[in-house]
Structure 1
Amino acid sequence: MKRIRVLLALMGLEIGGAETHAVELAKYLCKKGYIVYAVSSGGVYEKELADAGVRHYYAPLTKKDPISMYKSYSVIKNVVLREKIDLIHAHARIPAFVSSLVKKKLGIPLVSTVHGVYSTAWHYKMLTNWGDEAVCVSEDVQKYVIENYNFSPDNTLITINGIDTDVFSGDFIHYDTLAEFNLPEHAFKIVCVSRLDAGNTNAAYSLLSIAGKLSEQIDELKIIMVGGGSEFEKISALCDEKNSELKKEIFVMTNSRTDVHKFLSIADVFVGISRAALEAMSARVPVILTGQFGYGGIFSPDNLDVCLKNNFTCRGEDFASDNTFFEDIMTVYNMPNEKRSALTQFGRETVLKNYSVTAMAENTITAYKKVLREKANSYDFMISGYFGFNNSGDDALLQAMLDNLKSLDKDVRIVVLSRRPDETVKRYNVDAINRFSPFKVMKVMNRTKVLLSGGGSLIQDVTSTKSILYYLTIMKTALKKHMSLMVYANGVGPINRAKNRRLTKKIFDKADIITLREEGSLKLLKEIGVTNDNIILTADPALNLVPSDAELTENVLRSHGIKGDINLIGVSVREWNKNEHNFEKTFAKNLDIICRMNNVYPVFLPMQLPNDLEFSKKICENLETPYYIIGTRYDEKIFAGIISRCSLLIGMRLHSLIYAASVCVPIVGIVYDPKVKSFLDYVGQTHFIGAEKISGENFIGIISDCLKNKDTIKEEFKKRIDVLCKKAKYNADIAMKLLNKETIITFDAEENAENTEEAHSENTGD
Structure 2
Amino acid sequence: MKVMHLISGGDSGGAKTHVHSLLQNLTRTPGVDVTMVCFMEGQFSQEARELGIPTVVLAGKNLFKTRNVLKKMVLEGGYQILHCHGARGNMMGAMLRKATGLPVVTTVHSDYRLDYLGRPISRLTYGTINTIALRKLDYRIGVSDAMTDLLISRNFDPDKLFTIYNGIDFTPRIPTLSRPEYLKSVGLEADDSSVVVGIAARLNPVKDIATLVRGFALAHQVCPQLRLLIAGDGEQMDMLKSLAGELGVSRQVCFAGWISDTDSFYNALDVNTLTSLSETFPYSLTEGARAGLPTVASRVGGVPYLIEHGVHGLLFEAGDAEALSRHLITLAQDPELRRNMGQRLYQRAKADYSLESTLQRQLTIYETILRRQARTCGRRDGALVCGAYGRGNAGDDAILEAIVAELRQIDPDLPVWVLSRSPAETRQTYRVNSIYTFAPHKFLRRMAKTRLYINGGGSLMQDVTSHRSLWFYLFTISWAKRLGNQVMMYGCGIGPIHSQANRRRAARVLQKYVDAITLRDTHSKDELDDMGVTTPHILLSADPTVTLPPAPDTVIDGVLESQGIDPKGRYIGFALRPWPGYEEKAPAFAAAADYAYEKYGLIPVFLPIEPRLDVEAARLTARHMKAPYHILPTTGSSDHTIGLFARMQAVVSMRLHALVFAAGQGVPLVGVVYDQKISSFLSYIGQDLFLDLDKVTVQSLCSYIDAVYARIGDKEFLAGGVDRLRQVEEKNRLTARSLLEATTR
Task: Normalising by structure 2, report the TM-score.
Answer: 0.50
User: Greater relative contact order (Cα 8 A, min sep 6): structure 1 or 2?
Assistant: 1
Structure of greater Rg? 1
